[in-house]
Chain A
């Protein structure tokens, strides 16, 4: 499934990069895309469990997920 998350707190390319790296390490997640300008993180997830883990990873980095 395709997942699109509204993320608040991203400032720059670094924020994008850090989230990309963290989400790419989660099993079942691929094609991660992050855009700090519009506050969007999107990816392909094999199961809802992977989406849940992605949200946790985003929050762990200090960002909020809507």
Chain B
């Protein structure tokens, strides 16, 4: 049977000789199986490791040695109960002030709920707050406005390119128009999530860091891999998807060390190749519809990641929001132009 720690409350403990006598009493009663771990002369307590069935015998021997035992306490069980009680108290007393207010279900104090409808309500409340100009989300709103404006400017840039560089070629528009729009969406959506993450400037838990690395790696890898796969074939699509997804995922995941980096790398690798593969497989099977669904799902997941970061860290601090619109626009424009160039001028697989 496993030994447990017991506290024997006694009296007459005076000096080291008392300890010596008690050790002998314990050895005699237990055959050397039990052990005296410590003596507290102030509290008149003995700490003994023994099996539960030995307690009464030990108490008798120690008492006969001149140290009457008044009470025995199972410290192992007591400690387990205290830990359980502490955990319960921590859950109940979780300070509400550290929770972002809109994460709680409307009208309720608890921030944890098993009710899925309440979870959806919380998400909608946050989205509503973002759209309605709630001051809590001032920085997020500014980031969102930058994203929308960037998308508009990229569209304008594309139109200018189309008119000036491509002489308004209808073939170009017919062949690549849809994909160019997806390119703009992917670039802006990816940068929005990346900047949202970047602006938090905090230490993330390992679990959160891994999720961030994985989601950003997977999101970017999937989007650009699928896009280039649709226009240039599986090889180019996989190459582009991996080249973007893996380093971006690793960079995002590095916040929690090697595990986050590995998550980001693996996610970028898998998504980059998978995105290209899916596009090629669906070339003759509702490709445009599939890509529209994939874009909606991916942007939804990237948005969910933003919600997760908000839930863990609260809203962006104003003093941390130091990105200019020019920086954000250029960060979105550059990958857009690179992918645009690959789509239009890059090598293609035999299947296309």
Residues of A within 8 A of B (CB): 10-15, 17-18, 21, 61-62
Contacts and interface: CB of A to CB of B under 8 A. Distances in A.
Q: Which of B14, B17, B18 has the most CB of A within 10 A?
A: B17
Among A10, A14, A18, A62, find the residue whose CB has the most chain B CB atoms closer than 10 A.
Answer: A14
The 8 closest A-B pairs by CB, nearest first: A14-B17, A14-B18, A15-B17, A12-B14, A11-B15, A18-B17, A18-B20, A14-B21
Contacts of A12: 14-15, 17-18
The interface residues of chain A, by DSSP majority, are classed as helix
A17 B14 contact: no
B20 A61 contact: yes
A66 B65 CA distance: 28
A17 B350 CA distance: 99
A62 B20 CA distance: 11
Nearest to A36: B17
B66 interface: yes
A15 B15 contact: yes
State which size class the interface on B falls in. 10 to 19
5 contacts: A11-B14, A12-B18, A13-B12, A14-B17, A17-B65
A10 B16 CA distance: 10
Interface string B59-78: 00000011000000000000
A11 B16 CA distance: 10
Could you tell me the dominant secondary structure of chain B's interface residues?
A: helix
B24 interface: yes
Nearest to A62: B16
Contacts of B65: 17
Nearest to A63: B17
Interface string B4-32: 00000000101111101100100000000
Contacts of A13: 12, 66
A12 B65 CA distance: 13
Contacts of A17: 17, 21, 65-66
A12 B21 CA distance: 12
A11 B66 CA distance: 15
Contacts of A62: 16
A11 B12 CA distance: 12
A17 B16 CA distance: 12
Contact of B66 (A10, A14, A61): A14
B21 A18 contact: yes
A61 B21 CA distance: 11
Contacts of A14: 12, 14-15, 17-18, 20-21, 66
B167 to A, nearest CB: 104
A11 B17 contact: yes
Contacts of B18: 12, 14
B278 to A, nearest CB: 81
A21 B21 CA distance: 9
Contacts of B12: 13-14
B15 to A, nearest CB: 5
Contacts of B66: 13-14, 17
Contacts of A10: 17
Nearest to B22: A14
Nearest to A10: B17
Given A12-B18, A21-B21, 11 more contacts: A11-B17, A12-B17, A13-B12, A14-B14, A14-B17, A14-B18, A14-B20, A14-B21, A17-B21, A17-B65, A18-B17
